[in-house]
C-alpha cells in the first residue's frame, strides 16, 4: 500500500520500519526533518507538509502525542484534510480522548475521509517486533482497507466498535496497567514488611491466578529499583486523565483508577515524568 506516516518517535519510527520491511511504500512528514533522516535512509520518502503527504497516499497514519496534536496535523493549516483526495483513510495510533477521536472523525467525514482510532498496547518492544495490540474504532470497511498495513505493525487487531470505541478500549487498558502497577508495588511492600523476599513471591505468583505482564515486567523493575522507561510517567499521566475525564462525562466513579492517577500525577510533580510510570512504587513504599 501507499502509506503516509506522521509521528516518528519511540512508537512511530519502528512502525515505519516494519511497514517498509513488509513492502509498503511509505512517505513521512515530521515537524523536525531530523527525526525522519534514519527512516529516509531506510527507504521512506519525504513530503513537505501533511497536506502534500495526504495527496499521495491511500492510508495516512498518525502516531503523535495528544488530542490537540492529532487535530493540528489532520485539520490544522496545511493539515492532511486540506490536501487529501476523497477515499483517504486516516488511522490514528496515538492515545487520545475518545470524544476527541469522535470529533475528528466527524470533521474528516465532511471531506470524504474515513477516520479510524487505532490506539495500541505493547509498548516500544511491541512496536519494534511488530506485535502491537491494535484497538480500532470506526467503520469496518475502513478498517479492512487499512488492515494490510496494520498487520505489518500489530499481531492482534480488534474492531471494537464505532468511532471512539478504540480509544475507550485503550482507556480500559490503562486502568488495568495503572491499578496493576500500584497492586504490584503493594505486593513488594507487604512482603518486605513481613521480612519475606519479594523475588520468590513474584516468581510464585507468576504461576498462579495473579499472573500478569504487569507483575512480570514491573515486578522485576521494582525488585531491581530500576525505572528506566519503558512507558514514561508523563504519558501515563496523560492517559489516566483521559480515563478520569471520560468517566466523569459518563457520571461514574473509578476509585482504583483515580488513586493510581493521583500517584502518577504526584510522581510527575516531583520531577519523575521521564521515569517509567512503575516508579510510583517509590511513593507507595515511602508511606507507612
How many residues belong to the chain?
Answer: 288
Contact (Cβ atoms closer than 8 angstroms) between residue 18 and residue 153: yes
Contacts of 40 (CB under 8 A, 6+ apart): 28, 46
Find the binder of ligand NAP among 63, 167, 174, 277 (CB under 6 A): 63
Per-position x/- string for 16-45, each x denoting binding to ligand NAP as judged by CB under 6 A, each - no binding: ---------------xx--x----------
Q: How many residues sit in the footprint of ligand NAP (CB under 6 A)? A: 22
Cα Rg of the chain (Å, integer): 20
CB of 178 to ligand NAP, least distance (A): 13
Which residues make beta-bridge pairs with 5? 28, 61
CB of 112 to ligand NAP, least distance (A): 23
DSSP summary character for residue 25: E
CB of 106 to ligand NAP, least distance (A): 20
Between CA 102 and CA 116 the distance in angstroms is 9
Residue among 196, 180, 178 nearest 188 (CA): 196
Following DSSP, what letter does each residue of 147-213 receive, concatenated? HHHHHHHEEEEEEEESTTHHHHHHHHHHHHHHHHHHHHHHHHHHHHHTT--HHHHHHHHTTSTT--H
Please tell me whether residue 117 binds ligand NAP under the rule CB under 6 A.
no
CB of 205 to ligand NAP, least distance (A): 24
| Catalytic residue list contains 139 | no
Stretch that binds ligand NAP, among 62-70, 136-144, 190-198, 216-224 (CB under 6 A): 62-70
Q: How many Cβ atoms sit within 10 Å of the Cβ of residue 204? A: 10
DSSP summary character for residue 122: S
Between CA 37 and CA 30 the distance in angstroms is 10
Please tell me whether residue 151 binds ligand NAP under the rule CB under 6 A.
no
Q: Which one of 21, 170, 189, 234 is the catalytic residue?
A: 170
Cell representation of residue 151: 498487520
Residue whose CB is less far from ligand NAP, 19 or 235: 235
Find the binder of ligand NAP among 1, 3, 5, 7 (CB under 6 A): 7
Q: What is the largest CA-CA distance in the chain?
A: 65
CB of 57 to ligand NAP, least distance (A): 17
Please tell me whether residue 123 binds ligand NAP under the rule CB under 6 A.
yes
Please tell me whether residue 130 binds ligand NAP under the rule CB under 6 A.
no
Please tell me whether residue 241 binds ligand NAP under the rule CB under 6 A.
no
Please tell me whether residue 233 binds ligand NAP under the rule CB under 6 A.
no
Stretch that binds ligand NAP, among 66-74, 106-114, 190-198, 206-214 (CB under 6 A): 66-74
Active-site amino acid positions: 170
Can you give the binding site for ligand NAP, defined by CB under 6 A? Answer: 7-12, 31-32, 35, 63-65, 69, 72-73, 94-95, 120, 123-124, 231, 235
Amino acid at each position: 500500500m501507499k502509506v503516509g506516516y506522521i509521528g516518528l518517535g519511540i512508537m512511530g519510527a519502528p512502525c515505519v520500519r516494519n511497514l517498509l520491511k513488509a513492502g509498503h511504500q511509505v512517505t513521512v512528514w515530521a515537524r523536525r526533518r531530523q527525526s525522519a533522516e534514519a527512516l529516509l535512509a531506510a527507504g521512506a520518502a519525504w513530503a513537505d507538509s501533511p497536506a502534500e503527504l495526504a495527496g499521495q497516499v491511500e492510508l495516512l497514519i498518525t502516531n503523535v502525542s495528544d488530542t490537540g496534536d492529532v487535530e493540528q496535523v489532520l485539520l490544522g493549516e496545511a493539515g492532511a484534510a486540506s490536501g487529501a483526495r476523497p477515499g483517504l483513510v486516516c488511522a490514528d495510533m496515538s492515545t487520545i480522548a475518545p470524544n476527541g477521536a469522535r470529533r475528528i472523525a466527524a470533521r474528516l467525514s465532511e471531506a470524504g475521509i474515513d477516520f479510524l482510532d487505532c490506539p495500541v498496547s505493547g509498548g516500544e518492544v511491541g512496536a519494534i517486533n511488530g506485535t502491537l495490540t491494535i484497538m480500532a474504532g470506526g467503520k469496518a470497511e475502513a478498517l479492512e482497507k487499512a488492515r494490510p498495513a496494520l498487520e505489518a505493525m500489530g499481531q492482534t487487531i480488534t474492531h471494537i466498535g464505532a468511532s471512539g470505541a478504540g480509544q475507550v478500549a485503550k482507556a480500559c487498558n490503562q486502568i488495568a496497567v495503572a491499578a496493576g502497577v500500584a497492586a504490584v508495588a503493594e505486593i513488594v511492600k507487604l512482603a518486605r514488611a513481613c521480612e519475606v523476599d519479594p523475588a520468590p513471591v513474584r516468581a510464585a505468583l507468576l504461576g498462579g491466578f495473579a499472573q500478569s505482564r504487569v507483575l512480570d515486567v514491573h515486578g522485576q523493575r521494582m525488585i531491581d529499583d530500576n525505572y528506566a522507561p519503558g512507558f514514561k510517567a508523563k504519558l501515563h499521566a496523560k492517559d489516566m486523565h483521559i480515563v478520569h475525564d471520560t468517566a466523569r462525562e459518563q457520571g461514574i466513579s473509578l476509585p482504583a483508577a483515580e488513586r493510581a492517577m493521583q500517584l502518577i500525577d504526584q510522581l510527575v510533580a516531583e520531577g519523575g515524568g521521564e521515569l517509567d510510570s512503575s516508579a510510583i512504587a517509590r511513593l507507595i513504599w515511602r508511606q507507612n
